[in-house]
Chain A
Amino acid sequence: ETGVTQSPTHLIKTRGQQVTLRCSSQSGHNTVSWYQQALGQGPQFIFQYYREEENGRGNFPPRFSGLQFPNYSSELNVNALELDDSALYLCASSWNGDPGNEQFFGPGTRLTVL
């Protein structure tokens, strides 16, 4: 059974640029959630995709957008990067978007915005 993978591991961008982060869900999972974790903080929910449709969104501006593909992998896109976007971005997969199901996390992508 393959776990959740994310790419790239690290990324450095400058303010105003755009970035795409990628996530492959665990085998058998059809739901992907994205979280932003600032240094010293807990993960904050960005949004969730279930069967290729957005299934909930946290308090993040529209410049944070996503996509889920038929194989349930997912992308997180961030436009017009700001310094405060520097964080660890975590992807988590689960089954069926049910609130009672545990989410399995990937190793994260460390984004630095200069």
Chain B
Amino acid sequence: AQKVTQAQTEISVVEKEDVTLDCVYETRDTTYYLFWYKQPPSGELVFLIRRNSFDEQNEISGRYSWNFQKSTSSFNFTITASQVVDSAVYFCALSAANTGNQFYFGTGTSLTVIP
């Protein structure tokens, strides 16, 4: 079975602080994909990044970076120098080759950046 755990329900940081959102996943598939999505108050999920199980390289995109570690089944997301516009709910999701295109989402982490 596939499962995604986001243990942090809510996080508040002051603007310009760095923040890391944790994501732990479970799967028995050897081929799987991990995603991060952002859900602002408007409700629409915005795609941020995709990683496949064979690519453990970390990625940086502007103020965003992702740390994928298969040894700990984690795919953590760091925002550097946070801004008020980063306030949103962030979801980690998993899909696996043996369960088609079904995404398994975590329960999300609500991030509030205080000016």
Residues of A within 8 A of B (CB): 31, 33, 35, 40-45, 48, 50, 55-56, 58, 88, 90, 92, 94, 97-108, 110
* Docked pose: A7 CA to B47 CA in angstroms: 21
| Contact call B50/A99, Cβ cutoff below 8 A | no
| Contact call B47/A58, Cβ cutoff below 8 A | no
| Number of A-B pairs, beta carbon distance below 8 Å | 77
Decide yes or no whether B114 CB sits under 8 A from chain A.
no
Residues of B within 8 A of A (CB): 4, 6, 32-33, 35, 37, 42-47, 50, 52, 91, 93, 95-97, 99-108
* Docked pose: A97 CA to B103 CA in angstroms: 11
Given contacts A42-B91, A42-B107, contact A99 B44 (CB under 8 A): no
| Contact call A99/B96, Cβ cutoff below 8 A | yes
**B35, B93, B100, B106 interface centre (most CB from chain A within 10 Å):** B100
B44 CB contacts on chain A under 8 angstroms: 105-108
| Contact call B33/A100, Cβ cutoff below 8 A | yes
The 9 A-B pairs with the shortest beta carbon distances in the complex, nearest first, are A42-B105, A105-B45, A99-B95, A56-B100, A107-B44, A45-B102, A97-B101, A100-B33, A108-B43
Cβ of B101 to closest chain A Cβ, rounded Å: 5
* Docked pose: A94 CA to B102 CA in angstroms: 11
| 7 pairs, CB–CB < 8 Å, chain A vs chain B | A40-B107, A48-B101, A56-B102, A99-B96, A99-B102, A100-B33, A100-B52
Closest partner residue, chain B, to A48 (CB atom): B101
Q: A97-B100, A104-B47 are in contact. List 9 more A-B contacts (CB 8 A).
A: A31-B101, A33-B103, A35-B103, A42-B4, A55-B101, A58-B102, A94-B101, A99-B32, A105-B46
| Contact call A103/B43, Cβ cutoff below 8 A | no
Given contacts A100-B95, A102-B35, contact A33 B101 (CB under 8 A): yes
